[in-house]
Amino acid sequence: QVQLVESGGGLVQVGGSLRLSCAASGRTFSRYGMGWFRQAPGKEREFVATISWSGSSTYYADSVKGRFTISRDNAKNTVYLQMNSLKPEDTAVYYCAAKLWGTVVVTTHYDYWGQGTQVTVSS
């Protein structure tokens, strides 16, 4: 069982930056591919970024490519999402997810999910 807790969300102005963190419980974090998803009101949950269990591969949605960076620190059992040049359309609840031995997983087929953290970008 893996528990995921997101943090770092908040209110930011257009063009600003935020860094989201997702802390995982357990000793096997390094075996999990990690992903970030987001869900805006009235919309389906959508893929944002993913990093493989080894950390060697990352993949981004076109809408965030070049602005967001996913990374992981296995010593801290934490995955990060650095978000720069934020836009109003980035406003959503952001979720992290874990998939055992996951490589580059862009669908919602993850094993565990966090509760989410709200990101609001004001214009």
Determine the pLDDT at residue 97: 98
Report pLDDT for 44.
97
pLDDT of 102 reads: 87
Name every residue whose Cβ is closer than 8 Å to that of residue 59 and which is 6 or more positions away in sequence. 49, 50, 104, 106
Residue pLDDT, tens place only, 65-109: 999 999 999 999 999 999 999 999 999 999 999 999 988 888 989
The per-residue pLDDT for range 49-70, each reduced to its tens digit, is 999 999 999 999 999 999 999 9
Strands (E) located in the chain:
4-7, 10-13, 18-24, 32-39, 46-51, 58-60, 68-73, 78-83, 92-100, 112-113, 117-122
pLDDT in tens, 15-43: 999 999 999 998 899 999 999 999 999 99
How far is residue 97's CA from residue 105's CA, in Å, rounded to a whole number? Answer: 10
Look up residue 35 and give its two tokens: 């992903």
Backbone angles phi, psi at 12, to 5 degrees: -140, 150
